[in-house]
Amino acid sequence: MTTAYDVAAVREDFPILDTTVRGKPLVFLDTAASAQKPRAVIEAISEFYETHYANIHRGVYQLSADATQRYEGSRDTVQQFIGATDRREVVFVRNATEAINLVAHTWAEKNLQAGDEVLITALEHHANIVPWQMLGQRKGIRLRVAPVNERGEVVLEEFEKLLNDRTRLVAVAQVSNALGTILPLESMIELAHKRGARVLVDGAQAIPHMPVDVGQMDCDFYVFSGHKLLGPSGIGVLYGKLSLLEAMPPFLGGGDMIESVSFEKSTYAPPPARFEAGTPDIAGAVGLDAAIQYLQGVGIERVALWEHELLEYATAKLSEIDGLRIIGTAAEKSAVLSFVLEGVHAHDVGTALDQAGVAVRVGHHCAQPVMEIFGVPATVRASFALYNTRNEVDQLAAALRETLEIFR
Ligand code: PLP
């Protein structure tokens, strides 16, 4: 199916796409690691620094009030974008990793006891594995892992079998960064809630590519990073249901998160301020606001359709290449293609593609366990975004054929 999506117009909004690499036009296929930024985001950040910058929440002067308004305005934009019912449910953090660690150090620290279980899946990014292992070491909590099948899909029956009365938290990605699998969250969340477990969704790879509604999803926590969502690095979001956030102890102590301080005792501000100690990434929030508004302007549904077309096109193109094996063939996939070339190490493929101006990610993608399941130390990962084209897929395929020629 062809949509009336104007990718050429979208590309014009991204100055970096005019760059040449080794004398060749840049073919950027590593958005799953971090997205490129539209001019609207770059300009919003410089305009903020040039005309509105001051520290927030404390100044009595106009500039500080302005900056505060923009920072808090970004919270409103995020709230509306993810379908949260209350703006206080949106906590600004540095990135998805920090958001998960925040939940591990506050909610989980308070509510989980030795012998309790945290259930994740075999597809998780290290950011959604290591914090729970560290929690386990601190508190004697058991980490359980739901397996995936040979296509890289979570097996719901297996997932359900692992849920029990000790499962206090299910922490799962919405989309796997290594394989692109879209997880069956609706069923997983329903099953987890039936067992009385809370659910944290790692939306880092989902939110730039599909509509997200945390209310409808009914997750308890949702985390993502601004830099994968066309925004700047250094800003991310933890969404939490208000009743949960209100009952959570603080994470970091310092300015802005308190109600009152004396040497004997301090009391803490309500959420979200309780979890935003110190001067935050003010310009980052402004940039994130601009990124979301940009994406909404293009239309997230249209973006999702376009990326799906690209994924189908690329899957067909790459499947024609002799000696190329796609890793992760789930029925429901986001625009990520992981693959290996017979007889060529993934790092050599990455270097050869770079010579052709094609930027892809090679390695374990911070998901070593899933690589182990597929019996490969590393894959080449091409990930697509709203600014990629079929022509770029063709260039990837041509460069892969050349690489195979060289190494054979
Ligand atoms: N979760 C997933 C699924 C990811 O793909 C990533 C980054 O690649 C992260 C979490 C961590 O994101 P960040 O490094 O921005 O904290």
Average pLDDT over residues 170-175: 98
- Same fold for the pair 7-30+299-407 and 42-296: no
The per-residue pLDDT for 1 is 46
Give 168's pLDDT tier (boundaries 50, 70, 90): very high
pTM (predicted TM-score): 0.97
- Catalytic hit among 143, 145, 242, 366: 366
CA-95 nearest atom, ligand 1: 16
The per-residue pLDDT for 3 is 52
Average pLDDT over residues 398-403: 96
pLDDT tens, position by position, 192-207: 999 999 999 999 999 9
Using alpha carbons, select from 332, 330, 323 the residue that is nearest to residue 380. Answer: 323
Tell me the CA–centroid distance for residue 127 and ligand 1, in Å: 6
Distance CA 379, CA 337 (A): 10
Q: How many degrees, rounded to 5, is the angle at CA 350 between CA 122 and CA 316? A: 70
Residues 42-296, CATH architecture? 3-Layer(aba) Sandwich (3.40)
Nearest CA to ligand 1 atom 14: 97
The per-residue pLDDT for 201 is 98
pLDDT tens, position by position, 345-363: 999 999 999 999 999 999 9
**295 vs 366, more confident:** 295
Average pLDDT over residues 44-55: 97
Strands (E) located in 147-193: 167-173
Distance CA 180, CA 152 (A): 9
CA-236 nearest atom, ligand 1: 15
Map tokens 């990455």 to a residue: 350
CA-127 nearest atom, ligand 1: 10
Residues 7-30+299-407, CATH architecture? Alpha-Beta Complex (3.90)
Buried b (16+ CB within 10 A) or exposed e, 10-45: bbebbeebeeeeeeeebbbbbbbeebbbbebbbebb
Tell me the CA–centroid distance for residue 385 and ligand 1, in Å: 16
Give 98's pLDDT tier (boundaries 50, 70, 90): very high
Lowest mean pLDDT among 2-16, 137-151, 163-177, 350-364: 2-16
Distance CA 199, CA 184 (A): 13
Tell me the CA–centroid distance for residue 307 and ligand 1, in Å: 20
Give 370's pLDDT tier (boundaries 50, 70, 90): confident
Is 366 annotated in the active site?
yes
* Contact 121 CB / ligand 1 (< 6 Å): no
pLDDT at residue 2 greater than cutoff 70 = no
Q: Any idea where the domains of the chain sit in the sequence?
A: 7-30+299-407, 42-296
- DSSP H or E run through 361: strand 361-363
Give, for ligand 1, the residue of 34, 92, 95, 183 to mutate: max count of ligand atoms closer than 8 Å to Cβ: 95
